[in-house]
Amino acid sequence: MGNYKFILSGGGTGGHIYPAVAIANELKRRYPDADFLFVGAKDRMEMEKVPNAGYKIEGLWITGLQRKLTLKNAMFPIKLISSLFKAGKIVSRFKPDAVVGTGGFASGPLLRVASGRKIPCVLQEQNSYAGITNKLLKDRVAKICVAYDGMERFFPADKIVKTGNPVRGDLVSMKTEKADALRFFDLDPNKPVLLILGGSLGARRINQLIEKELDYFKSLGLQLIWQCGKLYINDYKKYNSDSVKVYDFLNRMDHTYAAADIIISRAGAGSVSELCIVGKPTIFIPSPNVAEDHQTKNAEALVKENAAIMLNESALEEQFETVFSEVMRSDERQTMLSDNIKKLAMPNATKHIVDEIEKLLRTA
């Protein structure tokens, strides 16, 4: 049977949207005649990103609960009832054979309705600390695909399958030569390259750190590829030079990673999964402003394996130069970090997740 129907739901951040699109792409590769529908939250980035990837999407009037008393929280019960009602109409009309949730509040009502109608449902949890929506859905779904060990703290052990997180296909088969990558960025092949990744919007605290340390990096003979984010490009583009390349966004990540010798990055689940495949020495500076502080927990999972270094934002002033110098001056430390982070790579995650969906389709 090739004319399956799939609903994928997840959003709010790229970390939820990208895995859903990757899973849809693999399902479409296996079932070219299948129908796909995404369900997201109105006014969130999935309403733009998903159509750009070539898929239809419908939006629910839903937001997450705020951590303090606000008018938005007072509206939450009304939004939830509205979203459950609309999710019911979507499921009745579309009649999916399977539903996939990748986290974010929009997936809650949709999978609640679908599982209640005995439609096979799969969760994909990207982080080492499970999100609230996925935790609420854990008893209603058939399978939960995870990227970290120890997830039975949050989910029933018999439902967990360790698959890893979907990553971009061009990274899995990355064949870019370093020399080509350096030419792409117009960098000197005789000097090491530091790559700074702050996410598509940018990381204010990381940008402030890099600006402050520019002379220090110069003293080490480093060249920089600095992705500062579209919110900050106007503040930092003045530092563009032969040895400092400032970007709001980096499209060619195969070239970007191939050029890098050492990386400073946030610790979102997608970034961590990519960096395991890339296998370069990495210093994570987790964002402290995310739900359940999951970036810190993601980074800690790698630090525990001697696969990366983590610096909290609160420690940057006192510790950054000391920690960075230790890594830069020790080839042995760089090799250890590189070898250990590669061991954690799971490049076939998307295929494994879709394998689990196929098993459910065969038994439905």
Query: Which residue ranges are tagged as binding site for UDP-N-acetyl-alpha-D-glucosamine?
Result: 13-15, 127, 168, 200, 295
How far apart, in whole angstroms, are the C-alpha atoms of residue 146 and residue 169? Answer: 19
Q: And the tokens for 180?
A: 């080509």
Give the amino acid at 191: K
Q: For strand 5-9 and strand 35-41, is the pairing parallel, antiparallel, or unpaired? A: parallel
Q: Is the dihedral of CA 75, 80, 83, 88 positive or negative?
A: negative
Annotation: binding site: 13-15, 127, 168, 200, 295
Torsion, CA 183, CA 189, CA 195, CA 199, rounded to 10:
0
CB 57 within 8 A of CB 37: yes
Q: And the tokens for 285?
A: 């500076």
Closest CA to 40 of 59, 21, 55: 59
How far apart, in whole angstroms, are the C-alpha atoms of residue 245 and residue 184? Answer: 11
Q: How far is CA 281 from CA 193, 262, 308, 333, 348, in A?
A: 12, 5, 7, 9, 22
Intra-chain end-to-end CA distance of the chain, in Å: 13
